[in-house]
C-alpha cells in the first residue's frame, strides 16, 4: 500500500508542529511507523491523502457512533454556520443540548458546557474540591482523565501512598493531593477510605476503562465507590467522556445502573466537534460561578456550531434506541470472529468488550487492571497492527486503546475485518 504522501507530509509537519502531531498517540511512534494523513471520511471509512481506503475503528477516538459525516449532523453544522460561528453569548442551542443531556441521564440535573473532555474533568475536580472543602482526590491506575496537572499522576509505592508526577512541567506538589489505586481493587479502596476518608474530596473513575485498552469493572467495584463516597461525604465523579451515550442512551450510567454526583461528557455530545460538559445534582452544580464560588469560564463554551452537532447526534440516538441493539450485534460478531482468528493461529489473546468498545490484548492473562494489561505482548501487537493496516483496517496505533464500532459498519466491513485478522494472526 503506497503511503508516500503521508510520509512526506509527516516530515513536513515535524518542522512546524512538535513531533509532527497535535496529540501524541497520533505519531504512530508506539508501532514504529509514521502516521497516515487523512483527507476525508464517510460512514465507516476513512481515506488518506494517497487515496487509500480504510475501514475505521478509531472513529476520532470514539465520537463517531453513527459513522463519519452523518447527514443529520452535517446538515445541522452547515445550518448553524450560516447563522454565525461564535457569539460569546448565550444561545438557545446551549439550553436545548443541556436539556437533552439532563433528560437522558437520570443523575444529571444541570450541565455546564466546556470545550473538551480534559476541561470537563478538570472542572469537575475543582468543583468537587470547592463543594467539599477538601483537597485529596482518588483516581485509578490506567484511567486517563485528560492532561490537567492533578491527573497526570502515576501510582505511588502502595495503597496509602500519594502518586508521583508522570509528566515534565507538573509540580510535585500536585502529586501530594492525588492518590492512585489499582482499578477494580476493592480492598485498596476500603483501606484508603478507612485511613483518609475525611480528607478525600472525590473519586474519579472511568466506569468502563478505555485508556489502558478496554477493561470492564468487576462486580461490586463501582458500587463500592458509590457506597464509600456516600459514607464519607466525598463526590463520586463518573468520567463518561468516552462511554457517554455510547454504551446506552444514558451511557455507562444506564448500562451499569449507576448513580453519580458528577458526570463528565465529551466525544459523542459534540458529534465530532470539540465539546465537553460536566453535570450533576443541582446543589453541587449551583456551586459553579456565577451561581456559586467555584470559578470556571470559556469564550467558546457552548459554541453554536458544536451545540448544533450535539443536538443532532443525541436526538438521533434518543429517537432510535434500536441503534444500540444493532451496535451490540455488530460488535459481538467482530469479537467472536477475532477470537476464532486467534484460536486458529494458536495466538494467546484476551478480548475485553462492553457494547461497541473492545480491545484485543496479546496475553494469556485475564485483563482486569493496568498491571494485567501490561502483560500484553506489545511487539506482537505492532506486527498485528501493521498487518491489519496493510489490509485496509485502521486500528488505534497502541495496544492500550479501544476499538470503536459504529452503526455505519456493515456486515461486509465486519467480515473483511475478521478475514484480515485471520491473515494477520497467522503471520505472527
112: β partners:
278
For residue 398, give every residue at least 6 positions away whose Cβ sits within 8 Å of its Cβ, in sequence order, or none: 25, 30, 31
Please tell me which residue in 144, 278, 324, 384 is annotated as part of the active site.
Answer: 144
Q: Which of 391, 396, 377, 395 is nearest to 424 (CA)?
A: 391
Please confirm, yes or no, whether 2 is among the known catalytic residues: no
Strand 403-404's sheet: what is its strand order? 350-354, 357-361, 403-404
267 included as an active-site residue: yes
Radius of gyration, CA atoms only, the chain: 21
Which residues touch 402 (CB under 8 Å, ≥6 apart)?
A: 62, 210, 213, 214, 242, 357, 358, 359, 396
Q: Is 144 known to be catalytic?
A: yes
CB 141 within 8 A of CB 206: no
Handedness of CA 216, 221, 227, 233 (dihedral sign): negative
Select which of 267, 330, 369, 377 is catalytic. 267
Peptide bond before 75: cis, by omega within 30 degrees of 0?
A: no
Which residue among the candidates 48, 56, 185, 239 is catalytic per the annotation?
Answer: 239
Are residues 356 and 65 in contact, defined by beta-carbon separation less than 8 angstroms?
Answer: yes
- If you ran DSSP here, which 8-state letter would residue 298 be given? -
Q: Which ranges of 182-220 does DSSP label H, i.e. alpha helix?
A: 186-196
In angstroms, rounded to a whole number, what is the distance separating the alpha carbons of residues 179 and 192? 9
Question: Cα separation of 13 and 20, whole Å?
Answer: 5
Degrees, nearest 5: CA angle 147-152-156: 165
Q: Cα(113)–Cα(22) distance, rounded to whole angstroms?
A: 23
List of residues 6+ apart from 420 with CB closer than 8 A: 387, 388, 391, 392, 393
Catalytic residues: 144, 239, 267
Amino acid at each position: 500500500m503506497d503511503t508516500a504522501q503521508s510520509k512526506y507530509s509527516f516530515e513536513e509537519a515535524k518542522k512546524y508542529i512538535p513531533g509532527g502531531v497535535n496529540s501524541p498517540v497520533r505519531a504512530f511512534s508506539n508501532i514504529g511507523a509514521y502516521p497516515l494523513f487523512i483527507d476525508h471520511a464517510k460512514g465507516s471509512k476513512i481515506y488518506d491523502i494517497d487515496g487509500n481506503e480504510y475501514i475505521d475503528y478509531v472513529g476520532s477516538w470514539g465520537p463517531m457512533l453513527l459513522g463519519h459525516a452523518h447527514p443529520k449532523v452535517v446538515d445541522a453544522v452547515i445550518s448553524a454556520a450560516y447563522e454565525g460561528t461564535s457569539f460569546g453569548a448565550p444561545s438557545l442551542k446551549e439550553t436545548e443540548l443541556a436539556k437533552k443531556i439532563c433528560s437522558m441521564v437520570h443523575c444529571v440535573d444541570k450541565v455546564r458546557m466546556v470545550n473538551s473532555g480534559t476541561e470537563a474533568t478538570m472542572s469537575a475536580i475543582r468543583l468537587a474540591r470547592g463543594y467539599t472543602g477538601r483537597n485529596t482526590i482518588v483516581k485509578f491506575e490506567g484511567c486517563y482523565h485528560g492532561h490537567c496537572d492533578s491527573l497526570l499522576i502515576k501510582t505511588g509505592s502502595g495503597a496509602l501512598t500519594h502518586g508521583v508526577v508522570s509528566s515534565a512541567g507538573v509540580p510535585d506538589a500536585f502529586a501530594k493531593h492525588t492518590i492512585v489505586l489499582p482499578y477494580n481493587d476493592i480492598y485498596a479502596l476500603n483501606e484508603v477510605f478507612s485511613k483518609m476518608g475525611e480528607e478525600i474530596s472525590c473519586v474519579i473513575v472511568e466506569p468502563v476503562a478505555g485508556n489502558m485498552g478496554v477493561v470492564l469493572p468487576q462486580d461490586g467495584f463501582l458500587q463500592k465507590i458509590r457506597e464509600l463516597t456516600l459514607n464519607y461525604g466525598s463526590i463520586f465523579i463518573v468520567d463518561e467522556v468516552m462511554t457517554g451515550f455510547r454504551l446506552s442512551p444514558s451511557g455507562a450510567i444506564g448500562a451499569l445502573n449507576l448513580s453519580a454526583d458528577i458526570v463528565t461528557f465529551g466525544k459523542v455530545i459534540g458529534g465530532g466537534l470539540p465539546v465537553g460538559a460536566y453535570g450533576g445534582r443541582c446543589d453541587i452544580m449551583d456551586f459553579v460561578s456565577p451561581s456559586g464560588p467555584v470559578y470556571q469560564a470559556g469564550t467558546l463554551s457552548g459554541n453554536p456550531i458544536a451545540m448544533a452537532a450535539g443536538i443532532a447526534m443525541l436526538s438521533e440516538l434518543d429517537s432510535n434506541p434500536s441503534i444500540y441493539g444493532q451496535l451490540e450485534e455488530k460488535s459481538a460478531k467482530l469479537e467472536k470472529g477475532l477470537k476464532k482468528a486467534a484460536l486458529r493461529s494458536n495466538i494467546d489473546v484476551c478480548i475485553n468488550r462492553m457494547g461497541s468498545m473492545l480491545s484485543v490484548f496479546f496475553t494469556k492473562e485475564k485483563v482486569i487492571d493496568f498491571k494485567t494489561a501490561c502483560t500484553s505482548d506489545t511487539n506482537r501487537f505492532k506486527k498485528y497492527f501493521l498487518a491489519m493496516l496493510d489490509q485496509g483496517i485502521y486500528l488505534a496505533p497502541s495496544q492500550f486503546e479501544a476499538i470503536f464500532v459504529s452503526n455505519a459498519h456493515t456486515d461486509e466491513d465486519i467480515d473483511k475485518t475478521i478475514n484480515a485478522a485471520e491473515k494477520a494472526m497467522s503471520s505472527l
